[in-house]
A and B are shown apart, each in its own frame.
Chain A
């Protein structure tokens, strides 16, 4: 019976499901630990899901004491996401940094009739590989909430990739994971950092290898 439950526990781990509790024998510990080690080595899963990070943030914001803790709550993040992502689609994804800035200045970029962010509230950067090849663009937009939009094209990589924003104090904020298909991919996401304090961004694989980096103008 215990062996069957041990196997069920291990199958759940391998299948990425929540394993059911059972009373384990001490002799099972090494096998369980090995299964966990193997599963932890699967690329991509060591990065938290964006939805989880946002949801937990909102729960914690609800329980925080407003008298003592300053909170920059993102508000109705998910409801606004679609509309702002539409702005991002118009702003970012093909034209490159110069084109983005120009388009914002002309104020004619929103296919969803949502006011575009003002030019001065945007910061832009170009993703470059270590050998200097341009691989995409990133735009951060200050607002309530603030947003990051980025596109990647022509990467020699397919799979999950993580965008990490670098803050001027040296800290790094893991912004979100997205998937590159055939070397191409996009990300749009709210961020809870001061856009003015951002220094740059990196794209890293789940194993930590840096694919490209950008410095904000």
Chain B
């Protein structure tokens, strides 16, 4: 602990004394959380699985097991950051989402409760409530309720091509709403 001269501010450093016993513990403790982080960044299971696999294949071999859990997780996050950036470069030629080891560390920290750190549900709710009814409904059906485009069209009593147009326009508007929420 140290104190600054004028403000008498105390700085405490959290010291993690625990460490993982073996790579298996590293894997079991982090695979679910790392997958969830990747899933929130790519939005589909196959890519999230591939990226999670790549992180572990890359990170585990040179891992020093004497490091603290916090250090191991920071290392996993940094590896995940690189793996995700490379994924977007290969697949779309530009970055769509990213991982910041500082701000995303909550994904891998020891859970104090069972609430997932993902902001997707609350953000999605805010976006959807800002949309006109039909735009909101097509996005709910397609993205949250797992309806095919045909099922969504039938539910909304429109043609399949109309449903596609609705989905396209609704996403454009949702993206604008999302931008405004960030500002």
Residues of chain A touching chain B, judged by Cβ–Cβ distance below 8 Å, are 7, 10-19, 21-24, 26, 29-43, 45-49, 52-53, 56-57, 59-61, 63-65, 69-72, 164, 169-174, 192-193, 202, 204, 206-210
Contact = CB atoms under 8 A, between A and B. Distances in A.
Contact of A29 (B44, B94, B120): B94
A56 B52 contact: yes
5 contacts: A14-B143, A17-B46, A38-B43, A41-B118, A48-B35
B178 A33 contact: yes
A217 B10 CA distance: 43
Interface residues of B, number: 68
Interface of B: 18, 21-24, 27-29, 31-32, 35-36, 39-49, 52-53, 56-57, 60-61, 65, 90-97, 110-111, 113-116, 118, 120-121, 123-125, 127, 139, 142-144, 146, 148-149, 164, 167-168, 171-172, 174-176, 178-179
B46 A71 contact: no
Given A56-B52, A72-B24, A202-B114, A35 B32 contact: no
B114 A70 contact: no
Given A34-B171, A56-B53, A60-B57, A12 B114 contact: no
Contacts of A38: 43, 120, 124, 127, 139, 143-144, 174
A35 B168 CA distance: 10
The dominant DSSP class at the B interface is helix
Contacts of B18: 169
Nearest to B121: A41
Contacts of A164: 114
B120 A41 contact: yes
Nearest to B96: A32
B175 A30 contact: yes
Contact of B52 (A37, A47, A48, A65): A48
A166 to B, nearest CB: 10
Given A38-B43, A53-B32, A63-B61, 20 more contacts: A14-B167, A18-B47, A31-B172, A34-B127, A34-B178, A36-B41, A36-B96, A36-B97, A37-B178, A38-B143, A40-B118, A41-B124, A48-B32, A48-B52, A57-B24, A60-B23, A60-B57, A70-B24, A72-B22, A172-B111
Given A39-B143, A57-B27, A24 B32 contact: no
Contacts of B45: 16, 45, 49
Contacts of A19: 44, 47, 91
A59 to B, nearest CB: 7
A75 B146 CA distance: 36
B92 A22 contact: yes
Contacts of B21: 70
A173 to B, nearest CB: 6
Nearest to A204: B114
Contacts of A208: 113-116
A21 B91 contact: yes
A19 B43 CA distance: 10
A33 B36 contact: no
Contacts of A57: 24, 27, 31
Nearest to A39: B43
4 A-B pairs with least C-beta separation: A36-B43, A39-B43, A38-B143, A18-B46
B36 A39 contact: no
B29 A171 contact: yes
B28 A193 contact: yes
Given A16-B45, A46-B36, A30 B92 contact: no
Contacts of B32: 47-48, 53, 174
A15 B148 contact: yes
